[in-house]
Structure 1
Amino acid sequence: MARPLLFDYFRSSASYRVRIALAMKAVEYERVEINLLEGAQRAEAYRARNPQGLVPSLEVDGRRLTQSLAIIEWLDAAHPEPALLPADPFDRAHVRALALAIACDIHPLNNLRVLKHLAGPLGQPQDVRDAWYRHWVAEGLAGLEALAQDRAGRFLFGDTPTLADVCLVPQMFNARRFAVPLEAYPLLVRVDAEANALSPFAAAHPDRFAP
């Protein structure tokens, strides 16, 4: 298998998830920066790879994958160790639910294209956009804190990192960027710190890829 090609933006939450998973699986890859602020994701050449015009995309031996969770599930199947999803069906569904609470319920309401639409066509000022961001992040994190409470260990599920933690860390990074208060989520703050102390999470941090 040739080295995968990752089309990435350093501060994209979805791309950050995939970088963490690649590092956890010890998969070496080549990275192509797609600058979202400059609109590189809308270029014809990139849309030929990913018609949605989103990051990340992963190309493996000429085959293309899109959507971060689909890419990570492919990685988990192609590189089984360490496993990112538990073997037990109920445990696996629980971990997926935690991951989806972030990737489907928090992140889409607050990603760059949504914030740009609020600013541009809808003409909302910065303070309104910031209030929008903080409201949906706070609501989502409160639900996640409660969902994880009963089955958390060192991490959101048990004592080894899973897909849920791969999704949590980028969301917490973004929450801090936008000055979202996190005191109400002690479990999430603790797990985030545990994960960031591990080398695969540190290796994927946006600061390592900033232009």
Structure 2
Amino acid sequence: MLTMASEKPILYSYFRSSCSWRVRLLKDGGQQFSAEFKAVNPMQQVPALKIDGITLSQSLAIIHYLEDTCPNPRLLPQDLKKRAQVRMIADHIVSGIQPLQNLSVLKQMGEKKMEWAQNCIASGFQALEQTLEHTAGRYCVGDEVSMADLCLVPQVFNAERFKVDMGPYPTITRINKALLELEAFKVSHPSLQPDTPAELRA
């Protein structure tokens, strides 16, 4: 768990959390279940961000606040149609794929957790691939990095962790590769976080 000076923002995170990666600016997996953290976020989920005298949870709420207060670089296009597409893709990942393969769900699946995660991700990626065929340029929507891209890269990381065959998703794969070449995505990678176990470090 990363703690900074009291006058600066505090981000509560976990190295392998795709939700945390979306907002990464982290220690001991499971700290989110402590009584101390429950006071920060009653849902006991990461990420949570203490900033400007408030505490925010849920990655998209955090991203929207940062977009509203520090819109440089901008993560939502000015064009309203592109802005709607960015939000659609982000919601597709954040609401339609990631929760189904989240740790709390996988714990309920027992021995079938790998198969369950693979099926959930593959089903979501089939739809996402079709959407991106119409919206993508270099990135998810056109040629500017957006909120949708912040959601895509962590979800592809999850897919690879669960050994999902990425062959059927060339557009997703191409965009992910382009994004991982950018410095912001490199330094926020789970393998480079303070709480990453030594054996998983890059």
TM-score by shorter chain over 0.5: yes
Give the residue type in structure 2 aligned to 1:97.
Answer: M
Residue 158 (structure 2) aligns with: 174
CA displacement at 1:131 relative to structure 2: 1.2
Alignment of 1:134-149 (within 5 A): 134-149=118-133
Alignment of 1:1-211 (within 5 A): 2-19=7-24, 22=25, 32-33=26-27, 35-36=29-30, 40-119=31-110, 125=111, 128-209=112-193, 210-211=196-197
- Give the 3 Å change call, closer, same or farther, for CA 53–159 of structure 1 in structure 2: same
For 1:66 and 1:34, the matched residues in 2 are separated by 19
SS of the aligned residue for 1:182 comes to coil
Return 5+ residue gaps in structure 1 as ranges: 23-31, 120-124
RMSD after superposition: 1.3
For the Cα contact (< 8 Å) 1:34–1:41, is it kept in 2? no
SS of the aligned residue for 1:104 comes to helix
TM-score of the aligned structures, taking structure 1 as reference length: 0.87
Runs ≥4 residues deviating over 4 A: none
Give the residue type in structure 2 aligned to 1:159.
Answer: D
Give the residue type in structure 1 aligned to 2:50.
Answer: E
Return 5+ residue gaps in structure 2 as ranges: 1-5, 198-202
CA displacement at 1:34 relative to structure 2: 5.3
Aligned length: 190
For 1:92 and 1:186, the matched residues in 2 are separated by 23
SS of the aligned residue for 2:66 comes to helix
